[in-house]
Amino acid sequence: MQTHFTEAQLRDPDTSVANQILRTCVHCGMCTATCPTFVLLGDELDSPRGRIYLIKDMLETGRPASEEVVRHVDRCLSCLACMTTCPSGVNYMHLVDHARTYIEATYRRPVHDRALRAVLAAVLPRPALMRLTLKGAKLARPFARLLPRKGMFALRLRALLKLAPATVPPASPTEIPASHPALGTRRARVALLAGCAQQVLDPAINEATIRLLTRMGVEVVVAEGAGCCGAVTHHMGKHDPAMASAAANIAAWTRELEGPGLDAIIVNTSGCGTTVKDYGFMFRTAEPGLRAQAERVSALTLDISEYLTKIGYAPTRPAPGLTIAYHAACSLQHGQKVTAAPKTLLRTAGFTVKEPAEGHLCCGSAGTYNLMQPEIATRLRTRKLENIRATGADLIAAGNIGCMTQLAGDTMPVVHTIELLDWMAGGPAPEGIATHGA
């Protein structure tokens, strides 16, 4: 597609990358069909092609982001279904990431919007603060019905309170940086991204991961100094805090790499995995040493399902006679293109695996999206749950805490894939699963 940047504009490395991405797009429109917001809203402006055009125009003219552009870019889930569909290989993720940073730098949001974003950016990446906030939200929950029925602010607050779990689990010992030695002969040593929000909302995921890996002879280290991957702030366009989070992880893992050594960096929250795998790009203009470290970290990063496939997983328990609806998290299927591994592992573990219709469509979680855009997120959740229920499965398995929180509270239990794999390989049954027949 034709672009209209001046040579001066193209000297800016970020604009130059945006230009290369835009030149790859041939404006064919295939992406519109698999975009959840286009499917729901039926407006080119709420499709990837429309957003690409809005972003292109904004960057070419160099004008500050306008309310109109922000509205449509904000509605993007960053589910990246468009990237799976795009035949031309347009890197929409890097383009929209850049647009978000540009918006953050040039647009002043309404005060309640700014406040919510600031709170989320401060709380989500910090487990202790988040635990405290969730407990507070739990107390505030009964007051949700007092909120007005209309208005974005009230809707968002209501969504926030609704998502807060009824019980906040106590902190798990796995939160403390430590090395978990392999049982028996050690075959590998990996770092686990312990994450931020996930270990507060559902510490059982990391516990299952560590149990399974150590049982399989893998030493698992939760590295000192590693924390939030940076995705939360990155997707809000908050460049500096995102880069600081990423840099802290790169430093922590580089120490492990150069010290005792690492065979892989394991991520069990696919939203985070997509970001960690992109560190190499995020630090492309950093000084060469840091850039090389970032690239090395990205290259070593694997989703837990990829790693288990690589080292070979085998169950030890008899098949439990359960049917699973596998919910493909967008960050896993579109962001990382990991599609077969989780399903194959679940089948290997002895489960019957069903794939819901419209599996490519986002469930509406999308990081903090369900808090920022509750109306669209709720419509997507309803649609997703209808498709999942139609499979007739006993429970839902997913590889991303965001989706798990979004899909929870309906008729079917939601668990992380790794909890099921751990269970079938000798671990405890995931909470809330009827273990009949197992």
Among 15, 37, 78, 85, binds other proteins (CB under 8 A): 85
Single-letter amino acid code for the residue at 258: E
Query: In this complex, which beta carbon is closest to other proteins, that of residue 45 or of residue 208?
Result: 45
Does 86 help bind other proteins (rule: CB under 8 A)?
yes
Does 2 help bind other proteins (rule: CB under 8 A)?
yes
Cβ at position 20, least distance to other proteins in Å:
10
Cβ at position 91, least distance to other proteins in Å:
12
Q: How far is CA 265 from CA 290, 302, 304, 333, 337, in A?
A: 17, 6, 9, 19, 17
Near other proteins in 298-337, by CB under 8 A: none
Query: In this complex, which beta carbon is closest to other proteins, that of residue 84 or of residue 378?
Result: 84
Among 18, 21, 69, 304, binds other proteins (CB under 8 A): 69
Does 90 help bind other proteins (rule: CB under 8 A)?
yes
Cβ at position 57, least distance to other proteins in Å:
5
Query: In this complex, which beta carbon is closest to other proteins, that of residue 39 or of residue 325?
Result: 39
Query: In this complex, which beta carbon is closest to other proteins, that of residue 28 or of residue 140?
Result: 28
Instruction: Using the rule CB under 8 A, give the single segment among 63-71, 104-112, 276-284, 424-432 that binds other proteins.
Output: 63-71
Among 9, 66, 179, 348, binds other proteins (CB under 8 A): 66
- Alpha-carbon torsion 92, 98, 101, 102, what sign? negative
Among 12, 68, 240, 431, binds other proteins (CB under 8 A): 68
Does 3 help bind other proteins (rule: CB under 8 A)?
yes
CA atoms within 13 Å, Cβ hemisphere of 251? 10
Nearest CA-CA partner of 236 in 132, 331, 115: 115
CB 398 within 8 A of CB 379: no
Indicate the Cα dihedral angle 220, 339, 414, 144, nearest 10°: 100
Query: In this complex, which beta carbon is closest to other proteins, that of residue 176 or of residue 340?
Result: 340
Does 57 help bind other proteins (rule: CB under 8 A)?
yes
Query: In this complex, which beta carbon is closest to other proteins, that of residue 106 or of residue 214?
Result: 106
CA atoms within 13 Å, Cβ hemisphere of 51? 29
CB 363 within 8 A of CB 271: no
Beta bridge partners of 414: 396
Q: Are strands 264-267 and 218-222 parallel, antiparallel or unpaired?
A: unpaired
Nearest CA-CA partner of 426 in 214, 212, 188: 212
Beta bridge partners of 397: 326, 415
Near other proteins in 161-220, by CB under 8 A: none
Does 92 help bind other proteins (rule: CB under 8 A)?
no
Near other proteins in 402-431, by CB under 8 A: none
Give the strands of the sheet with 218-222, arranged side by side: 178-180, 218-222, 188-192, 264-267, 301-303
Nearest CA-CA partner of 382 in 12, 16, 40: 40
Nearest CA-CA partner of 338 in 309, 376, 379, 377: 309
Q: How far is CA 289 from CA 254, 256, 263, 300, 313, in A?
A: 11, 16, 20, 17, 36
Does 75 help bind other proteins (rule: CB under 8 A)?
no
Does 88 help bind other proteins (rule: CB under 8 A)?
yes
Cβ at position 19, least distance to other proteins in Å:
9
Near other proteins in 15-44, by CB under 8 A: 23-34, 38-39, 41-44
Does 45 help bind other proteins (rule: CB under 8 A)?
yes
Instruction: Using the rule CB under 8 A, give the single segment among 66-74, 180-188, 393-401, 411-419 that binds other proteins.
Output: 66-74
For 179, the 3-state DSSP assignment is: strand
Does 50 help bind other proteins (rule: CB under 8 A)?
yes
Query: In this complex, which beta carbon is closest to other proteins, that of residue 69 or of residue 345?
Result: 69
Query: In this complex, which beta carbon is closest to other proteins, that of residue 157 or of residue 388?
Result: 388
Nearest CA-CA partner of 120 in 37, 237, 222, 276: 237
**Given the rule CB under 8 A, which residues bind other proteins?**
1-3, 23-34, 38-39, 41-45, 49-50, 53-54, 57, 66, 68-69, 72, 85-90
